[in-house]
Amino acid sequence: MGKAAWIGTMAMLATTHVAAAPPAMPVNPTAGTADWWKLSVIYEIYPRSFADSNNDGIGDIKGITGRLGYLADLGVDAVWMTPMFPSPQADFGYDVADYDAVDRQFGTVADVDTLIARGKAQGVKLILDFVINHSSDKHDWFKQSRASRDNSYRDFYIWRDPKPDGSPPNNWTSLFGGPAWEKDAKTGQYYYHFFYPQQPDLNWRNPKVEKAMFDAAEWWLKRGVYGYRLDAVGTMFERADLKDNPVASGTDPYGLPQQQRLYNTEQPEIHPTLQRLRQQVIDRYPGRVLIGETYVATAPELTRFYGAHNDELQMPMFLSLIGTPLTASALRPRIDAVETNPAGGWPTFALSNHDQPRAASRYARPAGTSSDDMAKMIGTLLLTLRGTPILYYGEELGMVNNDPKRVEDVQDIIGRKGWPKEKGRDGERTPMQWDASTNAGFNAGAKPWLPVAPDYTTRNVAAERADPDSVLSLYRSLIAERRTNPALAGDMAMVDRGNAQILAYVRTGGGKRLLTLLNFSDTATVMPLARVGGGRTGRIVTQNRARIDGATIRLAPLGLMVVELL
């Protein structure tokens, strides 16, 4: 049979399949242990966009609580909720005006308590976002700090005199456009901001800042949150002498010369501070974890964030995977490097988040395949590697980006500043697609803060839950497998390492072996079992565009298979 014909046969088999109710999600056997996070699935929720309980167009905490049943059924062990603290929303919550409270548009502290309690009953833990590098300029600390040069909060932030000609203290630029310094007329000094001017950097060299921030972390731990994702952890410190950064070639999306951010990112002082956070705060509460937003290029840099004695972050995300071309040859050495990191740290993988175009649309697709095929490749990779996957809401549906078409529609400030080179992050933040009703079931009909993506009538939880071949069903079945098959709790070995088309690896544990094959290429190919350790195949856990043919597995472009080896 030719390639097209056998794929056609598989598609027919798929559509004639009679939908039976999918099996219930098994419990995670490690849920009550200190190491619960290792075999867990963590799920990122952007609260503005998940579920809007009071129909004001903005998602909220009660909306999340109302959807805990869905999360438990999907097999989510912990939710990382992005910031819901009081905020002027210049950066949609990443500008925090009070670390110990909740913004009214998202709900109340009591709503978070309820989310924690109901989550506990359903086996879903809550992890918050801790914005450590900066606060909002409307935080009381900053209001005091800018009031006068001798205010007791002055040193909570980084203030410097202008150069003699009145220009900023050095050449550092903001990641979000323009100089990283803002002159404050009242006191005649500049303050430093790595992100927007509404996000002044905290001065972590001041022990009072450390104390205040550690207290804030503890405030929520006492309420039962399971830890934090540390925002922009690499930007916490700046070199004390504020040395100019080397200028690089080209311009940034906002028109200023590019620079190598050598002296205001990844400074050594970060690490002892993280060790103290771990020891003095996190480790005093059993099972609590720190995840890092660690945008480093290489595994050795990532290794530093585990700490020399695994005494910093348990889960620094290997985010440079996001920028890695999705090919077997590019992925293999990167995954290997994390797998074998000298700290022995536990790998943590994510391929999407609220700052990056959604993975299913970010990666180019060969002709003849769909974004669902790509979404299944991504899900299979994340859920079968050794490590903790961090899924982004809607990734399990194969949600795609829905970028604004006109600058007038853009909500994210960087999209307005950088248009059209930088369109901002609205496209990956559109409402969760629950069903085919108005606004995809996000709310009861009020205009959502961002438009629902047009594919919601077919790409939604209700439709995909009923379809055994959907992206969602693939995610559910692999998460169930993680909870029941000891191979997915065991070792991992890359096999057929020279293969430029297929990423292939075997997970081994509890006397079981599980083979994953992912054909990232745009041509059909075969994998003889002899090349992956021989033996016979057993149960097929999942497949898409792939089939077993005697002692060979045939894979179409973006074909995948997860199968037991006997």
Of 267, 471, 460, 282, the C-alpha closest to 360 is 471
Q: Which does 428 bind (CB under 5 to 8 A by kind): ligand NOJ, Ca ion, none?
A: none
Is 266 in the active site? Answer: no
Binder to Ca ion among 30, 54, 259, 267 (CB under 5 A)? 54
Closest distance between Ca ion and the C-beta of residue 62, in Å? 8
Taking the C-alpha atoms of 499, 500, 503 and 507 in order, what is their torsion angle to the nearest 10 degrees?
A: 20
Tell whether residue 52 is a contact of Ca ion (CB under 5 A): yes
Lay out the sheet containing 181-184: strands in order across.
Answer: 159-160, 189-192, 181-184
Task: Identify the bridge partners of residue 509 per DSSP, sorted by sequence position.
Answer: 512
Task: Write the DSSP assignment of 324-353 as a string of letters.
Answer: S-SSHHHHHHHHHHHHT-TT-PPPEE-S--
d(CA 78, CA 129): 13
In terms of CB distance, is 60 or 137 closer to Ca ion? 60
Rounded least distance, CB 163 to ligand NOJ, Å: 27
| Nearest residue to the partner Ca ion, using Cβ | 60
The verdict on 94 binding ligand NOJ (CB under 6 A) reads: yes
- 111 forms part of the interface with Ca ion (CB under 5 A): no
Q: How far is the CB of 112 from Ca ion (least distance, A)?
A: 15
**413, 422 Cβ separation under 8 angstroms:** no
Contact 427, 415 (CB under 8 A): no
Three-state helix/strand/coil letters over 389-454: EEEECCHHHCCCCCCCCCHHHCCCHHHHHHCCCCCCCHHHCCCCCCCCCHHHHCCCCCCCCCCCCH
Does position 91 bind ligand NOJ by CB under 6 A? yes
The residue annotated as part of the active site, out of 77, 231, 396, 426, is 231
Which residue, 396 or 412, has its beta carbon nearer to ligand NOJ?
A: 412
232 binds, among ligand NOJ, Ca ion, none (CB under 5 to 8 A by kind): ligand NOJ
Residue 165 annotated to the active site: no
Sole binder of ligand NOJ in the list 56, 155, 355, 467 (CB under 6 A): 355
Cα(338)–Cα(355) distance, integer angstroms: 22
Q: Residues 199 to 218: which contact ligand NOJ by CB under 6 A?
A: none
Task: Tell me the site size for Ca ion, rule CB under 5 A.
Answer: 5
Put residue 462 in one of left, alpha, beta given phi > 0 → left and psi -120 to 50 → alpha.
Answer: alpha
Q: How far apart are CA 122 and CA 74, in angstroms?
A: 12
Q: Which residue lies nearer to ligand NOJ by CB, 89 or 303?
A: 89
Taking residues 55 to 74 in sequence order and writing x for each that binds Ca ion by CB under 5 A, - otherwise, the string is -x-x-x--------------
**Residue 103 lies near Ca ion (rule: CB under 5 A):** no
- Which of the following is catalytic: 60, 293, 372, 395? 293
Quick check: helix, strand or coil at residue 544?
Answer: strand
The yes or no reply on residue 99 touching ligand NOJ (CB under 6 A) is no
Ranges within 325-344 binding Ca ion (CB under 5 A): none
Q: State the residues that interact with ligand NOJ by CB under 6 A.
A: 91, 94, 131, 195, 231-232, 293, 354-355
The residues annotated with a catalytic role in the active site are 231, 293
